[in-house]
Structure 1
Amino acid sequence: MDTPADDVLAAYRAASQRVLDKVIHRLDEHCTAFIGLSPFATLATASADGWPDVSPRGGDPGFVRVLDEATLVLPDRQGNNRVDSLKNLAGNPRAALMFFVPGIDETLRVYGTATLLPADALDLDLTDFGRAPLSVTVLRVERAYFQCSKAVMRSGLWDPERRVERSVFPPFSQVLRDHCRDASVPEESVLRAGLLEEL
């Protein structure tokens, strides 16, 4: 018997052959160039029992290194020490990265199997913003493909006229005070001066 989900999925037409064919199983020159331009990516993981997590990652353009057509290196910068993604990878090594390049509407998806290593395990200078990583995630690439521009175009993500003024949303310090019920959270200027990564 069909489930409601089956009924919903039945409403979609089949993906075209070109959409299926764009999936490759390595990083070609276009993937490599795009990653080299990207200062921002999202990392998707799931725990051993299936709970998903998605985490932002950022740095100088090319902060994720391409070692070869089958290998990426993602440095992990010190942050709030929740290490949700790393805990997930320790129990379930499957991961996905989505790369963004400001000004380009297409995105790049890369899927693979991850290995966690100490930062000094690789003979690479991974210093970014004056800081060395505490660990690295080495992703063995299994699939990669470019996502079409529709979602980014619809969102107007790179359109300066659709940029939201920061003043329309409370400062992060206020959000933290409310969420944590903690009146001792410092003012925004203090957070921005160097404490933000601890929160």
Structure 2
Amino acid sequence: MTGFETKPEYVISDETALRDLFPPTHELAAKKCLTKLDRHARDFIERAPFLCLGTQNADGKADVSPRGDPPGFVKILDRETLAVPDRPGNNRLDSLVNIVSNPSVGLLFVIPGFDDTLRVNGQATLVVDPELLKAMSISGRSPKVAIVVKITSVFMHCAKAFRRSRLWDPERFQDRDDMPSLMKIINDQIDETPVSEEELNELDQKLEESYRKTLY
């Protein structure tokens, strides 16, 4: 397969050219952006067990990281401030390192069964305040760091993407066994040396054991 190259004449390089492709936005879409949490945004955040966190480093290199916990895991500190616990992971720290160099973040809150989502943009700070961390503890285990977000914009996002994908439709669920296990995929990506099925099973078991030990 040869590398794909876009012809320069088909590249959109300014906002005017971009907007010329689309009709004007609906008045409600233009006005829906808030700078503080209202009661509906609060209710959505308190129900959400999952979010995606978008960050960038100082050079603009982007990253998106999933975050999940029981509903209400994101603490609402006031109408303009949220706190997201950082739970144990693989210690790559991609999102956290990005925040240190570039505090601009985007959060997408998701509730199972809801087709609409909540988007929050803001400026993040990494905080190790013991009282705040203790307030976000689960089963006696506190996060090492809280991501405190000062909100700059918050708004509801329509259901089109989730409805097009039929994400919550059980009839569209795919069998995970149709693809190799996570450890098999990673091994194939980083090492061309064949690994026996027995060794892969051992790696899979170790991964599951790490889930049990590090979740809570």
Q: Same fold (TM over 0.5)?
A: yes
Query: What is the identity, as a one-letter code, of the residue corresponding to 2:30?
Result: L
Q: For residues 56-78 of structure 1, what are the alpha-carbon distances to aligned partners after superposition, in whole Å with 9 as ceiling and x for unaligned? A: 00111111111111010001011
In structure 2, what is the equivalent of residue 72 of structure 1? 82
Q: State the Cα distance separating 1:11 from its structure 2 match.
A: 1.2
Partner-residue secondary structure (3-state), 1:138: strand
Is residue 113 of structure 1 aligned with residue 129 of structure 2?
Answer: no
In structure 2, what is the equivalent of residue 128 of structure 1? 138
Is residue 14 of structure 1 aligned with residue 24 of structure 2?
Answer: yes
Q: State the Cα distance separating 1:17 from its structure 2 match.
A: 1.2
In structure 2, what is the equivalent of residue 27 of structure 1? 37
Change (3 A) 1:117 1:171: same
Partner-residue secondary structure (3-state), 1:104: coil
Partner-residue secondary structure (3-state), 2:161: helix
In structure 2, what is the equivalent of residue 141 of structure 1? 151
Is residue 153 of structure 1 aligned with residue 169 of structure 2?
Answer: no
Check the 8 A contact 2:133/2:146 in 1, yes or no. no
RMSD, aligned α-carbons: 2.2
Determine the C-alpha separation between the residues in 2 that align with 1:80 and 1:196.
14
Check the 8 A contact 1:119/1:133 in 2, yes or no. no
Q: State the Cα distance separating 1:104 from its structure 2 match.
A: 0.6
Partner-residue secondary structure (3-state), 2:205: helix
Determine the C-alpha separation between the residues in 2 that align with 1:129 and 1:23.
37
Check the 8 A contact 1:63/1:128 in 2, yes or no. no
Q: List aligned pairs for 1:28-107, cutoff 5 A.
A: 28-107=38-117
Determine the C-alpha separation between the residues in 2 that align with 1:195 and 1:33.
30
Determine the C-alpha separation between the residues in 1 that align with 2:116 and 2:153.
17
Determine the C-alpha separation between the residues in 2 that align with 1:197 and 1:56.
19
Check the 8 A contact 2:133/2:145 in 1, yes or no. no
Check the 8 A contact 1:43/1:95 in 2, yes or no. yes
Structure 1 residue ranges without an equivalent (≥5): none
Rg bigger for which structure? Answer: 2
Change (3 A) 1:119 1:152: farther
Structure 2 residue ranges without an equivalent (≥5): 1-8
Check the 8 A contact 1:44/1:96 in 2, yes or no. yes
Query: What is the identity, as a one-letter code, of the residue corresponding to 1:32?
Result: R
TM-score after normalising by structure 2:
0.84
